[in-house]
Amino acid sequence: MAGVSGKPGRDQAMDFQGFLSDLQDWELSLKKPQSGKQVTDLISLWGLSLLLLSLKSGLRIVFYSSKVLTSRKPSNTGEYDYLRSYNSVSHMSTYMDEENSPDAASEKELGNEYFKQKKFKEAIDCYSSSIALSPTAVAYANRAMAYLKIKKFREAEEDCTEALNLDDRYIKAYSRRATARKELGKLKAAIEDSEFALRLEPHNQEIKKQHAEVKSLYQKAITAEVIQKASEAKETYKKGSQEVVKPKIEVNGSVQDNSSVTSSSLTTRVTSSQDQNQKNHEASKLELKESVQELASRAASRATVEAARNIKAPQSAYQFEVSWRGLCGDRALQASLLKTMSPDALPQLFKNALSAPILINIVECIATFFHEEMDFAVSFLDNLTKVPRFDTIIMCLSSADRTDLARLWDENFCQEAIPIEYVEVLSTLRLRYLPKP
């Protein structure tokens, strides 16, 4: 090198050659499984050696920075391309600092880069690393999207659920879980997810389209089932009940099959069996119509039962309201929703989100199962009064709402058949729901 000659130059060259040899050995050692502490120790050791050699020889030597171990960038070949950052010996003290160590945000961004390149498996690996370092709703939802791309729908559904556990108003998680559930055949659950997302963003055209598509698929599935059952019933009827009536001909006062009568022997009018056939046809149509109606009723009942099975305890006031409105018109299903909830959790669940119409609807629904589950119903009514906005809601009720609530209360919760242990509690609660002016 410039400025180095004679024997000292040869000594420096030998020292430098030896250092390069040792550096190759160090590189090989790094390729073996090492703990984080061992890697740090090796870096520190060889960094010190390089510094001493630099000071001894007067050479300006550059080296790979610690980013070589921690920074990755997707290349066009799909392999990791390690960044080489060269620094002078004056900066050799910065090894494995916090800035250069992997973090959740950088792993997520790296996953996004792989996703853009349609390298979905690599993206999933990066999102998994991000989740391991610091789980977030965005990382889970992004990994779910990558799973959707490779048709791993169950994994996508699970990741969306995890995302919603962290943020129950994350629209993309609802939408992506609806997609996963649609592919898994969980059409009713997919409708619920798309409805949640649509309530969060009523003007989102993509979510509107998704909701309409899933709802259409669900309705077609129900219709197809009814038609199939009706077709099966029709075939059964044809095979077991329908008989072909042969025309009869009256000849000289006696009725015979037309196969035994010649045209020359016809002396009187022919009595056709068309009327009988028509009667049989009408009876068949009536029976088929009744069969279809019965099958449709059964299908609706099965859909109701399936909906009841899918009802889960809401985790927020928003989830409750969406589920409650979705079950509007079916008191039995709304009662099932209430029964999934713990009365003690109502104040924390509703906080400041309870409205007057919802409150009155809940009381109406409790009245439908009050006598069967009195203890639960009374506890529910009691804990509703502990919701922060309860007294304000009651004070702001219209006169019509107050009248309806009073009638509802007296008809259902003030009957003589109510056990004595509940009478006093209900009397006290009545004063909370219907305070005297």
Residues 325 and 292 in one domain: no
CA distance 356 to 396: 8
Q: Tell me, yes or no, whether 233 lies in a domain.
A: no
Q: Which of 310, 342, 358 is the last residue of a domain?
A: 310
**Per-residue pLDDT tens digits of the chain, which is 437 residues long:** 444 444 444 555 555 566 556 666 665 665 555 554 555 555 555 555 555 555 444 444 444 333 333 444 454 444 444 333 334 333 433 343 444 456 899 999 999 999 999 999 999 999 999 999 999 999 999 999 999 999 999 999 999 999 999 988 899 999 999 999 999 999 988 998 988 888 888 889 999 999 999 988 988 888 887 787 777 766 776 665 555 444 554 444 454 555 444 444 444 444 555 566 666 666 655 655 555 566 555 555 555 455 555 788 888 887 888 888 888 778 889 999 999 999 999 998 888 778 888 899 999 999 998 888 999 999 999 999 999 889 888 988 888 889 989 999 988 898 878 888 888 899 999 999 999 87
Number of residues that this document lists for the chain: 437
CA distance 124 to 146: 6
**Residue 196 is which amino acid?**
F
Residues 81 and 130 in one domain: no
**Residue 250 is which amino acid?**
E
Half-sphere exposure in the Cβ direction for 165 (13 Å, CA): 9
Burial class of residue 437 in the structure, from the number of CB atoms within 10 Å of its CB (0-12 exposed, 13-18 middle, 19+ buried): exposed
Residues 83 and 120 in one domain: no
Q: Give the pLDDT confidence score for residue 392 in this predicted structure.
A: 87
Residues 211 and 118 in one domain: yes
Residues 329 and 304 in one domain: no
With the CA atoms of 398, 401, 407 and 409 taken in that order, what torsion angle do they form, in degrees rounded to the nearest 10?
-100
The owner of tokens 């659950």 is 189
Residues 288 and 333 in one domain: no
Q: Tell me, yes or no, whether 230 lies in a domain.
A: no
Kindly give the residue spans of alpha helices, DSSP state H, lying in 257-398. Answer: 274-310, 317-326, 331-339, 346-350, 356-369, 374-384, 390-395
- Our measurement of the distance from residue 176's CA atom to the centroid of its chain's CA atoms, rounded to an integer in Å, reads 7
Q: Give the pLDDT confidence score for residue 229 in this predicted structure.
A: 76
Residues 382 and 289 in one domain: no
Q: Give the pLDDT confidence score for residue 221 in this predicted structure.
A: 85
Q: Tell me, yes or no, whether 362 lies in a domain.
A: yes
Q: Which of 91, 125, 144 is the last residue of a domain?
A: 91
Q: Give the pLDDT confidence score for residue 376 in this predicted structure.
A: 93
Residues 305 and 322 in one domain: no
Residues 117 and 170 in one domain: yes
What's the total number of domains in the chain? 4
Q: Tell me, yes or no, whether 190 lies in a domain.
A: yes
Residues 322 and 291 in one domain: no
- Domain of residue 343, residue span: 317-433
Q: Tell me, yes or no, whether 235 lies in a domain.
A: no
Q: Which residues pair with 251 in a beta bridge?
A: 254
CA distances to 223, 295, 307 from 220, rounded to whole Å, are 5, 15, 17
Q: Tell me, yes or no, whether 97 lies in a domain.
A: no
Q: Tell me, yes or no, whether 400 lies in a domain.
A: yes
Residues 290 and 384 in one domain: no
Question: Strands, DSSP E only, in 77-194?
Answer: 86-87
Residues 77 and 21 in one domain: yes
Q: Which of 270, 290, 310 is the last residue of a domain?
A: 310
CA distances to 32, 272, 287, 400, 427 from 275, rounded to whole Å, are 95, 7, 18, 61, 70
Report the relative pairing of strands 254-257 and 248-251 from DSSP bridges.
antiparallel
Cβ atoms of 68 and 84 within 8 Å: the answer is yes
